[in-house]
């Protein structure tokens, strides 16, 4: 039986362009939750159009990982919700998974024009794995690839779509908005975005055998640029992590991508701690 994991972020959902729409304590957040849930349902429907017996897991992958409206989610899906959890944005990923779909994703920090571009949080300025800058798209695609699994679909703005296409050229992408900047875009109507996502999800699952996983063999040299000195201080408390001479970058060597991914997740959490 086919198992599909859909990882859903919020910044790449059609119509969303501003932090007030993605932050749980801001006034536009509830509308964004509804838009996010509706786009997710369209992708679930597309997967099941193509493979009616598929087992569909949905990983809520934005901020607190508690954004999707459980009561509004397609009842045929299993929802992975809350944090901390193994594999972060890819909660539910395992060796029994057959394909991964990334919905509502955004471009990495430093790329633009791109809507709400960042890498995990504002404390991380860049992540380089074997010399290549990677954001959440690349890191999650490589983590799936470590298990031999392809990322077959991504939706978000045009910059996010280009980011996956650079790494996995045969994946299906759906640009639900064209970025004009960090906080502006020309967006599809939500209903149009959902129609396109349903068709694309069905196509992506059907042709998954034609998509090669993104595999980065270890050992892997990793550099992480952090935005403040105290973040570097915290990061170097982790065994194997050291600072460079420029004062804002830390480095480590991952034995394989699974170890690399876990360490990057840990450094992101440390970067979110404010000094007291």
CA distances 172 to 41, 227, 231, Å, are 18, 34, 37
> pLDDT band at 274, cuts 50/70/90?
confident
pLDDT of residue 242: 97
Verdict on whether the full-model pTM lies above 0.75: yes
Annotated binding residues for Zn(2+): 9, 11, 62, 106, 136
Shared domain check, 251 and 172: no
Assess if residue 184 is contained within a domain: yes
170 Rama sector, left if φ>0, alpha if ψ -120 to 50, beta otherwise: alpha
Assess if residue 128 is contained within a domain: no
Annotated binding residues: 9, 11, 62, 106, 136
**CATH number for the domain harbouring residue 22:** 3.40.50.10780
pLDDT of residue 275: 80
Shared domain check, 247 and 110: no
Active centre residues (catalytic): 118
**CATH number for the domain harbouring residue 263:** 3.30.1360.130
What is the helix, strand, coil percentage profile of the chain, to 5?
Answer: 35, 25, 40
Shared domain check, 84 and 21: yes
- Beta strand pairing status for 220-226 and 124-129? antiparallel
Shared domain check, 195 and 245: no
Shared domain check, 11 and 49: yes
Per-residue exposure over 134-171, b if at least 16 CB sit within 10 Å of its own CB, e if not: bbbbbbbbbbbbbbebbbbbbbbbbbbbbbbeebbeeb
Assess if residue 178 is contained within a domain: yes
Shared domain check, 249 and 185: no
Assess if residue 129 is contained within a domain: no
Shared domain check, 162 and 73: yes
Instruction: Flag whether pLDDT at 203 surpasses 80.
Output: yes
Residue that finishes a domain, picked among 190, 210, 230: 210
Assess if residue 215 is contained within a domain: no
Shared domain check, 32 and 101: yes
Assess if residue 130 is contained within a domain: no
Tokens of 112: 């633009």
Residue spans of beta strands (DSSP E) within the chain? 3-8, 55-60, 77-80, 99-105, 124-129, 132-133, 151-157, 172-181, 184-187, 220-226, 242-243, 249-254
- The pLDDT tens digits of the residues spanning 108-127 come to 999 999 999 999 999 999 99
Q: Percentage of the chain surpassing pLDDT 90?
A: 96
- The pLDDT tens digits of the residues spanning 160-198 come to 999 999 999 999 999 999 999 999 999 999 999 999 999
Q: Are 81 and 63 in contact (CB under 8 A)?
A: no
Assess if residue 27 is contained within a domain: yes
- The pLDDT tens digits of the residues spanning 84-108 come to 999 999 999 999 999 999 999 999 9
Look up the domain containing 246 and give its range. Answer: 220-271
Tally of domains within the chain: 2
Shared domain check, 249 and 205: no
Give the DSSP H or E segment for 259: helix 257-271
> pLDDT band at 1, cuts 50/70/90?
confident
Q: How far apart, in whole angstroms, are the C-alpha atoms of residue 153 and residue 204?
A: 6
């Amino acid at each position: 039986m086919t198992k599909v994991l859909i990882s859903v972020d919020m910044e790449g959902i059609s119509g969303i362009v501003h932090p007030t729409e993605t932050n749980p304590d801001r006034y536009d957040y509830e509308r964004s939750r509804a838009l996010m849930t509706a786009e997710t349902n369209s992708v679930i429907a597309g997967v099941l159009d193509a493979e009616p017996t598929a087992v569909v897991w949905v990983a809520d992958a934005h901020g607190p990982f508690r954004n999707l409206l459980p009561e509004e989610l397609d009842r045929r899906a299993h929802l992975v919700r809350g944090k901390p959890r193994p594999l972060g944005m890819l909660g539910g990923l395992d060796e029994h998974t057959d394909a991964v779909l990334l919905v509502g994703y955004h471009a990495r920090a430093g790329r633009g024009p791109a809507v709400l571009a960042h890498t995990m949080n504002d404390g991380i300025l860049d992540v380089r794995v074997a010399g290549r800058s990677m954001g959440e798209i690349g890191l999650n695609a490589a983590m799936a690839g470590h298990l031999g699994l392809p990322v077959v679909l991504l939706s978000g703005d045009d910059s996010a779509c280009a980011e996956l296409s650079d790494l996995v050229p045969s994946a299906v992408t759906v640009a639900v908005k064209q970025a004009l900047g960090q906080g502006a875009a020309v967006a599809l109507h939500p209903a149009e975005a959902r129609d396109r996502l349903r068709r694309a999800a069905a196509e992506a699952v059907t042709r998954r055998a034609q998509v090669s996983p993104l595999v980065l063999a270890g050992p892997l040299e990793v550099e992480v640029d952090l935005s403040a000195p105290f973040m570097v201080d915290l990061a170097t408390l982790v065994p194997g992590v050291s600072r460079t001479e420029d004062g804002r970058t830390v480095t480590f060597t991952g034995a394989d991508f699974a170890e690399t991914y876990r360490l990057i997740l840990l450094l992101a959490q440390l970067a979110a701690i404010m000094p007291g």
